[in-house]
Structure 1
Amino acid sequence: MSRATPAAGDGGPALELLVHGVGGATPQSMLDDPRTVRVTGDETAAVYRRAEDVDAEERPGYPAGRPVREAYCWSNLTSGNGARALWLLLLPFMVVNLAHWMRPPALGAERTVRLYGVLVRLVALSLTVLLTAAACEVALDLAAWQCAGVARCADGKSWLGFLSAARHGWWSRPGRRLALAALVPAALTGLLWYLSNRTWSAYESQQPLTAAAATRDEPSQRPAPHRPALSRPGFWYGRRLVARLRAAHTAAGFLTVAAAVTGAAAHHDRARDSAPLTAVGWFLAATLVACGVVVLWVVCGRGRSESTLDEKLDRAVITGLPAAALALLALSLGYASWDRPGWISRSTLPGDRVFGLIALAQGVLVLALVGTALVLRRRTCGARTALLGLGGPAVALLACALGGVMTGGVAQRVADWLDRSGTPGAARDVFAGPPPLLTWQACAIPALLALLLPAVVYFAVLTWRAERAEERALPADYPGEPPDTARSRQIATARATARLTDRAPAFLGIVATATLLLGAGALTGSWTTGEIPGRAASGAPAVISSAADTVQALGSWFTGLGFLLFVTWGRRAYKDASARRTIGILWDVGTFWPRAAHPFAPPCYAERAVPDLAWRMNTWTERTGGRLVISGHSQGSVLSAAAVWQLPAHTRQRVALLTYGSPLERLYGRWFPAYFGPSELTALHRELRCWRNLWRATDPIGGPVLPGTDVDRGPLLDPIAFGRTQDQPLPAPILAHSDYQADPAFAEERTALLDELTPALPQQR
């Protein structure tokens, strides 16, 4: 369908800056022209124009009757080359980073807000320790300690044969096997540091539109601490915090590996009463504890600095802390490699309850986060806040659960692969397998699915009832149309299923509550029995024993399946561009926010996109003195609003905002109320000359942003025509979240926005 072109009016140069949404788009499709030219930017993110519009401002009277159109393409920030598929393995880190931004709004509660941030950063640190401990479990415990210590397991594996204790070689000593295997988790930590540092240089180091660009701002503008958070000059510049957190998490990874190696060797030395080696072991343990305290101090000591552009870097922390941890790791490897005659690896490594301690710490932190969120919630009122302000703790718990599934999945699959003769842990004298807690956590997955089944049925019934109600009310939207049951049901189904987005908080609350209770049960069961569920129930009646074996088998299968899905999806996305784009959509939603809790999370593309848009709008209006409409679809509307917030006030008066399919209130306002809540969106409305938002009832993502104001226009009819008409001789499709520009309302509102910007002086609202 051809799209109508509005008249630009007589108010000088006019520009429409298009920003696409999730999934990406090409400049050719956005501009409806196969001939496009990159105006500014690079291969990652750039602004494009049609070839005939490149020098439009330099030709008086051109283009006649329409604004110049530009397209900002940012999809390569999240779904570019194949290496981005590896970001899928960083999913728990991304999820816990979201929890930082989900706190309830609370003015005048700075201490409680800081406590909330500290708790989320501690949960994030526990995830780094957990996944590093999982790598240690696989490389040190399962491979180097258990399998290499049993001839039946090590024989037939060429890559492990030289470590076999049965060969009595130099590497067959348990300490040397552990020292060599420790290079695997250490290398993993180094890789995470490298990826975080490389993405930081490409994303977080981008200069935002600084205060120097706002020198013409009104003197009456509110100081930064009292402005909406997204309008503060340092919001999109987390250089200092990310560098500190990267150093702390890297050091925590190295210290976890060093503790695993040192703990095993020191346990043997204390049992053998070897005074010199025991003294060295105690010294290393005390040094590891002291270094761990420093890591906690770095994580808890400083949060984000948003009121000013913080260019300072803590060089002593950034370089000194990881270097000290790496040096301790080297000393620990040397200590473990010392020749200890008679040392034989049996059962599991000492400290197999570390996973239980990590799980306990995560549970305590999440409960403390719940209490902090409730305190913040009492200071505000907002019925639209997801989970009554508890969205952050629920998401933090989900991140811990994802980390546990990945940990258990890797350990279970590697144990099954190494010990092909039976279930790991069934014969502890031969191959003990992973710690019992990981098996107990796997057994909680079938129980979780069984608990969620009634909730799924309940929401399905609600959707069915909403569909029937929509079908009965449909004739009012299409008066005079002949009855068509199939068409009516199709439209009603689209509207009813679009409402499922509004029920997502309730479902997440059910998942989080069930996960917390089942996780507590798994921790209690593993610590009480010290055995895997099948062995713990061996003395019970046959029915209970059989049920325990069944649940254990199902749990192991589910965790293995989950891990394999991660691997296969990542491998497919590495080779297939379409699959990579699908993963990019996930990152479009999850990585909008800066890395404030976990430095190893996928990078924040908005720290590149928002400055790009703000700089383009500011420089174009300064150079031409013209009018600008920034037009954002879906996630592009969030980027557009964030960029408008960053503009100087005198520039903002020449800019209009057009959003469509926008999740600003429906998703961001409810899940991130401190940043996109009603007061923040109302403030943006007051500071803008004009703002229009288009939405449809069939759209599962977009919705109204400020109900009761002149901002929203909708719900737009979708489809445009119920049956065949003179204007629509073929059946009109249900567009839902896509192609808002095909609706006549889009051109009408764009024209109205340009007309409102025409006066030279700002209009008083």
Structure 2
Amino acid sequence: MTIRELRIHGVGGSPGAAMLGVKPGDAKVIRQGRRTQVLARRRDPRVEGYDWGRLTTDSPLQPLWVLLLPFTLVNVAGWAHGDFSSSRRRLLATRGAVHASAGLLTATYTLWAAIIGVDYVGYQAIGRWGETAQVFGVVLGFLLAAGVPAVLMTIANVTRRRFEKPEAGYGIGTRDGQARWAAQEDLRSEQFFAHDRSLKKLLGWHGVITAMSFAAVVWMVLVQWGEPNLGLGRLFLLVGALQVGSIAALAVLCWNPAGRYADLSAGRALPAAAVTLAVALSNGVCAGFALLVAQLMGIPWDRWGQELGLIESFVTTVVLWAVAFGVWRARRRGRANADELPSRTVGDDEPDGVTEELRAQVARQRSRAAAARRAPQLVTVFAGLFLLSAVVSVVMRLDLSQPVMDWVPPPQRSVLSTVAAMLLPGIPVAAMVVVWQSSRNAVLRRTVAITWDVLTFWPRRYHPFAVRPFTERAVPEFQGLITERIRRDEGLIVSAHSQGSVLALAALAPMGAAMLHRCGVLTSGSPITALYGQVFPAYFGQRPVDDLKERTDPSCGGWVNLYRLTDPIGGPVVGRGDPAVDVCVPDPAEVSAVSFPIAPDDPEPLRQPWADVAGHRDYQNESVYKATVREFRRRCGP
């Protein structure tokens, strides 16, 4: 009887044959999907791999995903609520606040498009040539403004049909794309990644919000016709006040969404912080772009609308956050040590410990790993700084009927507006350049991939304009592979690294005990609890983890999780660690090939002992990894 090892990789794009530890010519493709594939070793077909990396990296338009980041952040905020053991009313109120924030964000983009197109370009710039030109300019401005939501709706609908519409033959159940989400639906639901009709309905609602926003703009145009500007900033201020209200509600409802291990939480009120970040990014960039258009069109500052009244707060927030990031990084540096590692007493031929240089390297990597697990704190810091700077700006200008930045002297006003016009629109441009350059730089590619793979894991339940999720295709396909292999071979080892462990948990969660009892689960460098469990406790907290642990049968396989103290992404999956599941792997490696012999045809040699720091990579080259696979094969075999 064959016991296969089915691997699934982490972030960083498509690894191809490297996932199997072999060169490209030593692997064969046994199944091809849409931007996915299943590979196997030629010499040892028992080792297979599911490659999903091209779902997030194979799009030539990926740099433009940056423009959809605010919608994606709001969508992610909706999944970061407390676990289902909390009050049902609080859960419904949290989701309602996120849906309200999503609708307000759509209205904000519509208003910014109208402010720039209708007021600045059409009414003020083209309108200088006379009344007829002004009417023509306003009509043209409406057409330009309508193009923004039209493009967003088109992108959302096209990606819905291509990636989220359920297809026959995937998954373990009937995936019919049911219209409504269940109140407490979690990863155990066979329909979790099959809500195509629900997304279609959500698109319709946001179409209504867009139409209502344009109706309000038409009303303001009729009321303000003949004035220096159309006063659309008043609508923007109303929407902004409602956004602040929804953020405040989320902060109260989700002050600490972490589960049982609340002290491990990377931040507080993360849903509110994510929405705040989305609001700050969208309004800041749009305000900077509007300011740039106003300057290019020669519109004097005393004719700017109130939508630019808080332009200084966006610049202040960016500067203060950059300072806060530097302070945070300096405080986190050097907090760990490697004093317990033995010192080297022999030469490099047969080392018996670490050199002082390597000890320092291990300590630095442990410090970076500990800091990385607290990185979501930066989102909360940014949110707090933005809200604080916005409040201060409003207090300094209580009379909003006065011209924009009237309290700033003319020389400083010119400098501030020039900096804002260059800095704020430059943020998304710089981000797009970084994403584009990531295809050429391995380190940068991993950083960008981590961000996108976390943000695009979640279905578009809360905002239809978010970047399309890759899980709507990856999870059902992986489920189908697991089910097929278990039924054919009577047993299976699921080996999941990094983000792949998150996909594996999502794929295994709906399966019954009969399937799981014939499946050994080996995760390595897993962010299930270190990141996902703290930010999304209802779906990856201790309750779902304990449920999967209890349903895997140790007599056949069970669950083993490998992590390192130097790993910035992976960590224990059971709270602070359960010796029956969580195994801390030494880094540097300590076991030599002499004390742990491997098969001659094994293409993945053991790591050299006391040689280097692996961090998040090369778990498959550890002796404990190979020993676990051997034990799984023994348990699941005849």
Change (3 A) 1:572 1:355: farther
**Residue in structure 2 matched with residue 607 of structure 1 by the alignment:** 472
Note if 1:486 corresponds to 2:477: no
2 CA distance for matches of 1:692 and 1:48?
Answer: 24
| Residues 1:703 and 2:571 are matched in the alignment | yes
Cα 1:684–1:227, aligned 2, differ >3 Å: closer, same or farther? Answer: farther
The aligned residue for residue 418 of structure 1 is 297
Q: Aligned residue for 1:230?
A: 187
Q: Does 1:735 align with 2:600?
A: no
Matches within 5 A, 1:672-751: 672-689=536-553, 690-706=558-574, 707-718=577-588, 720=590, 732-751=611-630
- The structure-2 alpha-carbon separation of the partners of 1:48 and 1:471, relative to structure 1 and needing over 3 Å to count, comes to closer
Aligned counterparts, 1:12-161, within 5 A: 12-31=1-20, 32-35=22-25, 36-51=27-42, 68-107=46-85, 109-150=87-128
1:371 to 252, 257, 264: 252
Q: What is the Cα deviation at residue 492 of structure 1?
A: 1.2
Match of residue 6 from structure 1: none
What letter is aligned with 2:511? L
Determine the C-alpha separation between the residues in 1 that align with 2:435 and 2:296: 21
More helix by share: 1
What is the rounded CA distance, in whole Å, between the counterparts of 1:227 and 1:572 in structure 2? 41
Instruction: Return the letter of the residue paired with 1:120.
Output: V
Structure 2 counterpart SS, 1:713: strand
Residues 526 and 561, structure 2, Cα contact 8 Å, conserved in 1: yes
Amino acid at match of 2:171: L
- Residues 180-212 of structure 1, C-alpha deviation per residue, up to 9 Å, x if partnerless? 221122122122111111111122212563546
Q: In 2, distance between residues paired with 1:226 and 1:89? A: 31
Checking the alignment, whether the CA contact within 8 Å between 1:189 and 1:254 is kept in structure 2 is no
* Residue number in structure 1 paired with 2:390: 519
**1:475 counterpart = 2:453:** no
Q: Which residue does 1:456 correspond to in 2?
A: 326
Distance 1:719 1:574 in 2: 31
Q: How far, CA to CA, are the matches of 1:371 and 1:236 in structure 2?
A: 30
Q: Secondary structure of the residue that 1:535 maps to in structure 2?
A: coil
Are residue 446 (structure 1) and residue 316 (structure 2) matched? Answer: yes
Distance 1:697 1:503 in 2: 14
1:357 pairs with 2:357: no
Give yes or no for the alignment of 1:641 onto 2:502. Answer: no
Structure 1, 253-262 or 397-406: larger mean CA deviation? 253-262
Deviations 1:8-52 (A, max 9, x none): xxxx21111111111123322222142333322324112122346
Letter of the 1:489 counterpart: A
Which secondary structure does the structure 1 equivalent of 2:373 belong to? helix
Indicate whether 1:667 and 2:531 are aligned.
Answer: yes
Q: 1:114 to 1:578 in 2, by over 3 A?
A: same
Q: 2:295 and 2:448 mapped to 1: Cα distance?
A: 29
- Offset of residue 81 of structure 1: 2.6
- Secondary structure at the residue paired with 1:659? strand
Aligned residues: 608
Q: 8 Å contact 1:39–1:49 — kept in the other structure?
A: yes
Q: Which moved more, 1:89-98 or 1:364-373?
A: 364-373
Instruction: Determine the structure 2 residue equivalent to 1:7.
Output: none
C-alpha change, 1:483 and 1:47, in structure 2 (3 Å) is closer
Residues 538-582 of structure 1 deviation map (CA, whole Å, 9 limit, x = unaligned): 4xxxxxx77666555544443133143245456767999998886
Which of 508, 511, 522 is residue 379 of structure 2 equivalent to?
Answer: 508
Distance 2:341 2:513 in 1: 45
Q: Distance in 1 between matches of 2:500 and 2:356?
A: 36
Q: Structure 1: which amino acid aligns with 2:460?
A: R
Change in Cα spacing, 1:69 to 1:482, as seen in structure 2 (3 Å) is closer
User: Distance in 2 between the 1:483 and 1:716 partners?
Assistant: 12
Cα deviations across residues 431-487 of structure 1 (Å, max 9, x unaligned)? x24x344352344433553366256325413422x14xx043443899985773322
Shift of 1:410: 1.6
Distance across 2 between alignment mates of 1:585 and 1:502: 13
Q: Kindly tell me: are residues 48 and 367 of structure 1, through their superposed partners in 2, closer, same or farther at Cα, counting changes over 3 Å?
A: same
What is the distance in 2 between the residues matched to 1:492 and 1:258? 60
Determine the structure 1 residue equivalent to 2:600: none
Please tell me the residue identity of whatever aligns with 1:500: A
- The one-letter amino acid paired with 1:611 is P
* Structure 2 residues without counterparts, runs of 5 or longer: 176-180, 597-605
Structure 1 length-normalised TM: 0.73
Please give the secondary structure, in 1, of the residue aligned with 2:493. Answer: strand
Distance apart, 1:595 and its partner CA: 0.8
Unaligned runs of at least 5 residues, structure 1: 1-11, 57-67, 151-163, 214-223, 269-343, 539-544, 760-765
Q: 1:496 aligns with which of 367, 380, 393?
A: 367
Residue among 212, 224, 228 paired with 1:347 = 228
Moved more, 489-498 or 507-516: 507-516
Q: Give, as a single letter, the amino acid of the residue that structure 2 aligns with 1:30.
A: M
Higher mean alpha-carbon deviation, 200-209 vs 589-598, is at 200-209
The one-letter amino acid of 1:606's match is T
Alpha-carbon distance, 1:111 to partner: 2.6
CA positional deviation for 1:117: 0.8
In the other structure, the counterpart of 1:201 is: 161
Map 1:539-554 → 2, pairs under 5 A: 551-554=416-419
| 8 Å contact from structure 2 (residues 28, 40) kept in 1 | yes
Deviation string 1:637-690 (CA, Å, 9 cap, x unpaired) is 100111111223311211111111110010011111111111211111001120
Larger Rg: 1
The reply on whether 1:401 has 2:280 as its aligned counterpart is: yes
Alignment deviations for residues 357-402 of structure 1 (CA, whole Å, 9 cap, x no partner) = 121111000111122225988xx75424636751111111111111
Contact preservation (8 Å) 2:587, 2:615: no
Question: Is this contact kept in 2: 1:452–1:511, CA < 8 A?
Answer: no
Task: Give the 3 Å change call, closer, same or farther, for CA 665–598 of structure 1 in structure 2.
Answer: same
Structure 2 partner of 1:263 = 220
SS of the aligned residue for 1:700 comes to: coil
Aligned twin of 1:586: 451
Task: Provide the aligned C-alpha RMSD in A.
Answer: 3.4
In structure 2, the CA distance between the partners of 1:613 and 1:133, relative to structure 1 (3 Å rule), is same
- C-alpha distance after superposition, 1:574-606 (max 9, x if no partner): 999998886544321211011111001011111
Contact 2:199/2:461 (<8 A) preserved: yes
Q: Are residues 1:632 and 2:511 paired?
A: no
Change (3 A) 1:718 1:552: farther
SS for the counterpart of 2:6 is: strand
Task: Give the 3-state SS of the residue equivalent to 2:406 in structure 1.
Answer: helix
Deviation string for 1:341-370 (max 9, x for gaps)? xxx5x5221332222112111100011112
Summarize deviations over 1:69-108 as a string: whole Å, max 9, x none. Answer: 1111111211113123322210001111111111111426
Structure 1 distance, partners of 2:475, 2:382, is: 34
Secondary structure of 2:330 counterpart: helix
Q: Match for residue 521 of structure 2?
A: 657
Q: Secondary structure at the match of 2:482?
A: helix
Partner-residue secondary structure (3-state), 1:693: strand
CA deviation map 1:97-124 (0-9, x unaligned): 1111111114262232122111101101
Aligned to 1:240: 197
> Does the aligned pair in 2 maintain the 1:451–1:514 contact within 8 Å?
yes
